[in-house]
Structure 1
């Protein structure tokens, strides 16, 4: 059989999912262009925790995050007063899984960019304005970062991958009835600061509030504070209003909040898509564009990273219905959805449920919640963890070419 011609692919969006998709697709031999709306990459004021399912995919794609991250041997869930409810030690759940690791989003972006070949690195200040699937190709019109239409004629690609986030332009154009955005009922503040001595990740659950601390390399700390609030609710006054909202949280979360010299730099209402949508024909979606979810399980970026590898698998020369000169894009949407939908939907719904539980405010609900966390069987936690990692290890046994 002759070697198939590489596909000409446009990835719309140069975030974590888009860069990983570009890396997977170039590894599979395709010609990839990444269009990123932002005029430049700037330091991100937030951190990220990646579980072994994401780290194994990145490692298979040649991205080693060990020099840029901190291993988290344990993750503690506490009551607001600091009482330990549960300590999760992932290393106990499976030999060879590896650590969960924490790093800044800036470091993660830099590592992904460094792993990409020069030809596939993002073109900044360029956004997708319109896509048209003609059946044999996709024509794309672009705008600049300021929304000005480019004077060039539309460009043609074999495949367009929408990795342009929760408010995806690509998704809006290829989905007849786009799924609605669902407000989770909470709002979140995040940032980075100097680490005052926190040695393990901790999440503190209060009455309708949550606080999280994650140590990072180089003496930094990633923090987040979450409260139940309607969409677009005004932020409490700094600093006294913040301290009142999170007054139930004792210990390190309180000390970190008191030590901040200004309000957290990032503030977002937490929203999600009501259900995943994967695209159709020659226009496919991944990451938040396909299945934005709440961050309660810390799996949003991990699912995008997994999507990237699965998408490249769906385009393999020996994929069903292709070969012998067949069109590898034909049927790719169905193959990609079959690889991803059931798993992603389960994680999305589990994250939604976890968020609902942590938002409980009444005393009785909090007692039930804390009792359930304390008494959760270790075997159940281990089974859930293995269910997160083992399917990825199985997927990675399939090479991209």
Structure 2
């Protein structure tokens, strides 16, 4: 695992690959756009395929939280200024109870630590982020194509499947391995993405107070949880007041379609015993979308058996909807892949780097999934002895003036047998992780050695051939 990055390492020199190849990327979500941006920056050609004709538009959408290491990567890729204009920094969070609004403590991140790793936690309108990524990709010379049933055949050196949970490329990969198509297991929870226009909150003193808060809300409930935070309006919206986003996690009964539009009254009925402020926000929402929380087995193989085809993002690994790390893992997938292909100078390396990606990323994804589900379960504890232990610990840390996620002892946490210190250290290691440095480590440990071995074999072969030619030429003069 990579350690914290120094300020100097947040700015890295950019080198074009000696050999430029052509990638076809299937899917124009965050994963596909980030892959296109990172690969074109190092000199590769990209054709991006997307079936949604409106994917370049910043339509009304919910919010997302961008982790510090992701902000650092996007800044390296040249979109820092635009990103900072359309996002808010969130230097910490409030912990409150879902039903009573009891203050369970505050956690403010160490700004010196963020300065050291070169990033910060930011909140943004997801549609605006997608539009920003699309513009950056187009500026790099990529012309996104809306896929049509024309029968046209496109050819490339590598195909990347970034086409989401229903990935066509993933199905092709499973078929090649003779693996039955995997199914999504419903976890009995639904996720709601809620968008509230800021103007609708004006005039209500209770809601207007939310505009003054620089921290986001992490809300703890009885089998329920929520993130609540401000997001700037998209730059081209003409609006000046921040909007508000809610990511709600509630009990469900059966798996429905993903991101199904929901009426305000339906969500209000499903919220259960909830503090009135959150109900007032839902009443004012102009967009509510529901998605089931599902799980499926992690792929053992991400690369097609014949090579040249790889799945990334949700096509390879699914987190739950509105996970804080959804955007982060998409960006880190892209960063890892591009950092490997920055070393490309021979066609024999194409499959080597795909297999290297498959060696590097799964362990990290498995770790991040366990951490994300553990954090959500911590928020959603059903009321009972474990929840009482958690709340007692939080109240005690608040009484001592401690940050909510820090501890001055080995006090046991109520989740998964871990303690507060380990939870805090896990968060720090996540924020400090650098996907490009991880790829560089593989190159230093393995890639460069393989290349030296390959050149050694070539030189040995050439030496044998030269000696054979010399002996053949000299043979007639031999006695």
Task: State the TM-score bracket (shorter-chain normalisation).
Answer: 0.7 to 0.9
Mapped to 1, the partners of 2:336 and 2:266 lie a distance apart of 45
Mapped to 1, the partners of 2:159 and 2:436 lie a distance apart of 27
Pairwise mapping of residues 9-24 of structure 1 onto structure 2 (< 5 A)? 9-24=23-38
2:29–2:162 Cα contact (<8 Å) kept: yes
Residue deviations 1:174-223 (CA, integer Å, cap 9, x gap): 12325442323211221211343322311222222223311011420111
Mapped to 2, the partners of 1:100 and 1:278 lie a distance apart of 30
SS of structure 2 residue aligned to 1:383: helix
Mapped to 2, the partners of 1:240 and 1:40 lie a distance apart of 29
| Alignment-derived partner of residue 215 in structure 1 | 230
Q: Higher strand fraction: Structure 1 or Structure 2?
A: 1
| Alignment-derived partner of residue 196 in structure 2 | 193
2:220–2:379 Cα contact (<8 Å) kept: yes
Mapped to 1, the partners of 2:293 and 2:426 lie a distance apart of 24
1:377 aligned onto 2:403: no
Residue deviations 1:253-312 (CA, integer Å, cap 9, x gap): 23312434x6x4311112233214523321111111111112575001100100001011
> Under a length normalisation based on structure 2, what TM-score does the superposition of the two structures give?
0.70
1:297–1:354 Cα contact (<8 Å) kept: no
Residue deviations 1:223-248 (CA, integer Å, cap 9, x gap): 12221113336999955554343242
Mapped to 2, the partners of 1:183 and 1:158 lie a distance apart of 37
| Alignment-derived partner of residue 363 in structure 1 | 384
Residue deviations 1:112-149 (CA, integer Å, cap 9, x gap): 1221236313212x1xxxxxxxxxxxxxxxxx2xxxx3
| Alignment-derived partner of residue 105 in structure 1 | 126
1:227 aligned onto 2:289: no
Change (3 A) 1:335 1:357: same
1:68–1:107 Cα contact (<8 Å) kept: yes
Change (3 A) 1:252 1:336: same
Mapped to 2, the partners of 1:162 and 1:307 lie a distance apart of 12
The unaligned stretches of length 5 or more in structure 2 are 1-15, 202-207, 233-240, 398-404, 408-420, 444-479
The unaligned stretches of length 5 or more in structure 1 are 127-143
SS of structure 2 residue aligned to 1:224: strand
| Alignment-derived partner of residue 150 in structure 1 | 150
| Alignment-derived partner of residue 446 in structure 2 | none
**Matching residue within 103, 108, 111 for 1:84:** 103
> May I ask how many residue pairs the two structures share in their alignment?
369
Mapped to 1, the partners of 2:432 and 2:261 lie a distance apart of 43
| Alignment-derived partner of residue 90 in structure 2 | 72
**Matching residue within 193, 197, 202 for 2:217:** 202
| Alignment-derived partner of residue 182 in structure 1 | 185
1:50 aligned onto 2:49: no
| Alignment-derived partner of residue 269 in structure 1 | 292
1:212–1:253 Cα contact (<8 Å) kept: no
**Matching residue within 344, 360, 379 for 2:365:** 344
Q: CA deviation at 1:251?
A: 4.8
Deviates more, 1:277-286 or 1:370-379: 370-379
1:296–1:352 Cα contact (<8 Å) kept: no
SS of structure 1 residue aligned to 2:244: strand
Q: CA deviation at 1:102?
A: 0.6
SS of structure 2 residue aligned to 1:208: coil
Mapped to 2, the partners of 1:270 and 1:87 lie a distance apart of 28
Change (3 A) 1:309 1:105: same
1:121 aligned onto 2:143: yes
Change (3 A) 1:248 1:284: same
> Under a length normalisation based on structure 1, what TM-score does the superposition of the two structures give?
0.82
Mapped to 1, the partners of 2:425 and 2:372 lie a distance apart of 17
Q: Higher helix fraction: Structure 1 or Structure 2?
A: 2
| Alignment-derived partner of residue 168 in structure 1 | 167
| Alignment-derived partner of residue 386 in structure 1 | 428
Mapped to 2, the partners of 1:351 and 1:239 lie a distance apart of 28
1:10–1:33 Cα contact (<8 Å) kept: yes
Mapped to 2, the partners of 1:23 and 1:165 lie a distance apart of 18
